[in-house]
């Protein structure tokens, strides 16, 4: 059995390592992400994580365990993915300033024909930000590859006043939920081999 992470995210790789998973392979999904219209943010991340897991499963062994995830930030009904420009990053941060938003991560674990998909939701409270702070953070380059244009594990921690829920979910992988999902596939992370 090989554990395969269907992501090139350095944060997800780091979190799997923190969970004690050793020798896993990284095979990022490359297919186009197709989001059917009308999905809520939690349904969207579940659907995208499923698509990634199924893409990688097509080239994996029957005994391999595939882990796929997708994360979005939702401010009210507006879903914020990764910004495509500096202006879009600044606009996202302005929208989040002084507000509470929700980070959703969908996780799919797949082995052979068995597949489980779940999601985690964490509320994040941003302090009010000045225009100068927003531009300085955008200038750091950190927002450009992150949903919602910030990373809580980096300089983005200076923007966050508090959270309600799983901190690791905000980083892109709800590790406690994932550990419980893996257990259903016979992967026990706290048991000695």
**Please, what is the end-to-end C-alpha distance for the chain in angstroms?**
14
Dist CA 11 CA 14 (whole Å): 5
DSSP of 60-76, one letter per residue? Answer: S-TT-EEEEEEEEEEET
Burial zone of 177 (CB within 10 Å; 0-12 exposed, 13-18 middle, 19+ buried): middle
Please enumerate in sequence order all residues whose Cβ is within 8 A of that of 40, keeping only pairs 6 or more positions apart, or say none: none
Give yes or no: 139 in active site.
no
Catalytic residue among 42, 63, 64, 70: 70
**Which residues participate in catalysis according to the annotation?**
70
């Amino acid at each position: 059995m090989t554990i395969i992470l269907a992501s090139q995210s350095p944060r997800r790789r780091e979190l799997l390592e923190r969970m004690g998973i050793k020798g896993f392979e990284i095979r990022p999904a490359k297919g186009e992400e197709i989001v059917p219209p009308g999905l809520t943010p939690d349904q969207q991340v579940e659907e995208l994580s499923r698509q990634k897991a199924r893409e990688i499963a097509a080239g994996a062994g029957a005994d391999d365990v595939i882990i796929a995830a997708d994360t979005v930030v939702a401010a009210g009904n507006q879903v914020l993915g990764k910004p495509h420009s500096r202006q879009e990053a600044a606009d996202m941060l302005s929208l989040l300033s002084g507000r509470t938003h929700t980070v959703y991560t969908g996780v799919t674990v797949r082995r052979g024909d068995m597949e489980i998909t779940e999601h985690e939701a964490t509320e994040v409270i941003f302090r009010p930000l000045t225009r100068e702070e927003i531009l300085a953070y955008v200038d750091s380059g950190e927002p450009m590859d992150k949903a919602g244009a910030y990373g809580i594990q980096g300089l983005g921690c200076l923007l966050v006043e508090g959270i309600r829920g799983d901190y690791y979910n905000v980083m892109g992988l709800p590790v406690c939920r994932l550990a419980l999902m893996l257990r259903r596939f016979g992967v026990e992370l706290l048991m000695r081999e």
